């Protein structure tokens, strides 16, 4: 007989095991879906997860795709660890891209080593400004940051729409909704000839290292952890909650803004209406799959990035609908949340004693 028993303490081993379990269950369920759709499951999985990264180019594309996801998820982990539910990273990314894109356009056809740092900084500031809105409203007006940050995503996209359709549209572009192409001096340098992977990956790696240091070596990290466990305890301990809330939002916004900079000054090279395929939302999955741990987030961003690439390859070579990629992302999150049940409960096998 099996009995479900509540654990006295969440298991630490299981804490890091469930993401792996979730990925495994996703693969099993994914195979089942492929089978039902009439595709050979193993072949489909091969085209989904192996073929896209089997060569140098594919692997560089994986890193390119994982970079914004990792960067945003690192930022989000600051918020999520301290019980601040910033789900508007997409908006912070967009606004960061708007500010940095505006600066890049200002330097159109100009040269100088100082341009790129200013463009990058502008993106981080843009993201911070935009994240400060839900943070300030939460701390001083008690609004719900989930709603505010989410709604601001749509506002930011409308601002971007307005700018690329109107005042910032390319004067030689027949009024199509896009800006000019940025000059090379405002673009992130490519790391290898012929590959699209750019210097933005160093920003992501720096964020990983810094976040690890902050989380585990600083007083702020400790405050965040305590606030995450219990807001009341944090208050009793006398932490200045408001300052911390605003700080984590600013960090999170800066990371999202930098992710936006990486996209527009990296592979895109201009502003238009679709600068991000919802990286800001997908990064939420990445943050949780990575257990809000810097190293975990690196792996999680690679896993989620490959679902994008795999979906394309699977459609090109096997005619599997491309939207399966999104199904995979959804399943990963679903199985992760479901297997988190194991964190708090365990199965006990009991012999049939009378």
Partner 1 sequence: MHKFFIRSFVSSLVLLFTFTVAAIAKDVKAAFVYIGPTGDHGWTYQHDVGRKAVEAAGFKTTYVEGVPESADAERVLRQLANSGHDVIFTTSFGYMNPTNKVAKEFPNVKFEHATGYKREHPNVSTYAARFYEGRTILGTIAGTMTKSNVIGYVASFPIPEVIRGINSFTLAAQKVNPNIKTKIVWAFTWYDPGKEAEAAKALIDQGADVIAQHTDSTAIVQMAEKAGVYAFGQASDMDKFAPKAVLTSVENNWGPYYVDRVKAVANGTWSQKDTWHGIGDGMVVISDLDSQMPADLRSKVKKLQADLASGKVHSFTGPIYDQKGNLMVAEGKTADDGMLAGMMTYVKGVEGDIPK
Task: Determine if 184 is a binding residue for partner 1 (CB under 8 A).
Answer: no
Q: String of b and e for 327-337 (b: at least 16 CB within 10 Å)? A: bbbebbbebbe
Report the nearest approach of partner 1 to the CB of residue 195 (Å).
Answer: 11
**Chosen residue from 178, 186, 234, 265 binding partner 1 by CB under 8 A:** 178
Q: Are 271 and 168 in contact (CB under 8 A)?
A: yes
Instruction: Find out whether 264 and 100 touch, Cβ atoms under 8 Å.
Output: yes
By the rule CB under 8 A, 308 interacts with partner 1: yes
DSSP code of 184? G
Among 113, 114, 141, 174, which residue interacts with partner 1 (rule: CB under 8 A)? 174
Q: Which CB atom, from 272 or from 293, has the smaller least distance to partner 1?
A: 272
- Give the integer Cα–Cα distance in Å for 310 and 312: 5
322 binds partner 1 (CB under 8 A): yes
Which C-beta is closer to partner 1: that of 171 or that of 238? 171
The number of residues that bind partner 1 (CB under 8 A) is 37
SS (H, E, C) 317-347: HHCCCCCHHHHHHHHHHHHHHHHCHHHHEEE
340 is an interface residue for partner 1 by CB under 8 A? no
Of positions 143, 181, 183, 185, contacts partner 1 by CB under 8 A: 181
Question: Does residue 228 interact with partner 1 by CB under 8 A?
Answer: no
Question: What SS3 class is residue 127?
Answer: helix
- Residues 250-279, interacting with partner 1 (CB under 8 A): 263, 266-270, 272-277
Which residues have C-beta within 8 Å of that of residue 101, sequence separation ≥ 6? 168, 179, 182, 264, 270, 271
Give the number of other Cβ atoms within 10 Å of residue 281's Cβ: 17
Q: Which is nearer to partner 1, 61 or 145 (CB)?
A: 61
Q: Does 175 bind partner 1 (CB under 8 A)?
A: yes
Indicate whether 312 belongs to the interface with partner 1 (CB under 8 A).
yes
- Closest CB 174 distance from partner 1, rounded Å: 6
Rounded distance, CA 244 to CA 83, Å? 11
Which residues contact partner 1 (rule: CB under 8 A)?
A: 57, 61, 64, 161, 165-167, 174-178, 181, 196, 263, 266-270, 272-277, 308-309, 312-313, 315-317, 319, 321-323
């Amino acid at each position: 007989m099996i009995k479900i028993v509540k654990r006295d303490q969440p298991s630490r081993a299981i804490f890091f095991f469930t993401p792996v379990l979730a990925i495994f269950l996703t693969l099993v369920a994914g195979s089942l879906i492929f089978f039902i759709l009439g595709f050979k499951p193993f072949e489909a999985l091969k085209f989904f997860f192996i073929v896209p990264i089997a060569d140098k180019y594919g692997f560089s594309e994986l890193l390119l795709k994982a970079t914004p996801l990792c960067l945003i998820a690192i930022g989000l982990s600051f918020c999520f660890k301290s019980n601040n539910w910033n789900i508007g990273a997409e908006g912070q990314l967009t606004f960061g891209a708007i500010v940095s894109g505006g600066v890049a356009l200002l330097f159109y056809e100009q040269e100088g080593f100082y341009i790129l740092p200013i463009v990058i900084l502008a993106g981080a500031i843009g993201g911070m400004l935009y994240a400060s809105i839900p943070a300030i409203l939460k701390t001083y007006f008690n609004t719900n940051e989930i709603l505010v940050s989410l709604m601001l995503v749509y506002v930011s996209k409308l601002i971007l729409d307005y700018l690329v359709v109107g005042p910032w549209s390319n004067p030689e572009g027949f009024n199509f909704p896009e800006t000019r192409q940025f000059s090379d001096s405002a673009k992130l340098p490519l790391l290898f000839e012929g590959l699209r992977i750019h210097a933005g990956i160093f920003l992501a790696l720096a964020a990983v290292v810094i976040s690890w240091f902050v989380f585990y070596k600083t007083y702020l990290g400790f405050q965040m952890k305590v606030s995450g466990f219990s807001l009341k305890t944090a208050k009793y301990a006398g932490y200045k909650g408001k300052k911390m809330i605003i700080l984590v939002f600013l960090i999170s916004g800066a990371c999202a803004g930098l992710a936006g900079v990486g996209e527009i000054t990296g592979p895109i090279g201009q502003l238009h209406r679709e600068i991000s395929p919802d990286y800001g939302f997908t990064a939420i999955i990445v943050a949780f799959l990575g257990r809000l741990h810097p190293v975990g987030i690196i792996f999680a961003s690679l896993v989620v990035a490959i679902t994008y690439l795999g979906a394309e390859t699977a459609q090109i070579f096997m005619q599997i609908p491309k939207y399966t990629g999104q199904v995979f992302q959804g399943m990963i999150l679903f199985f992760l949340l479901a297997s988190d049940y194991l964190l708090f409960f365990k199965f006990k096998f009991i012999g049939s004693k009378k």
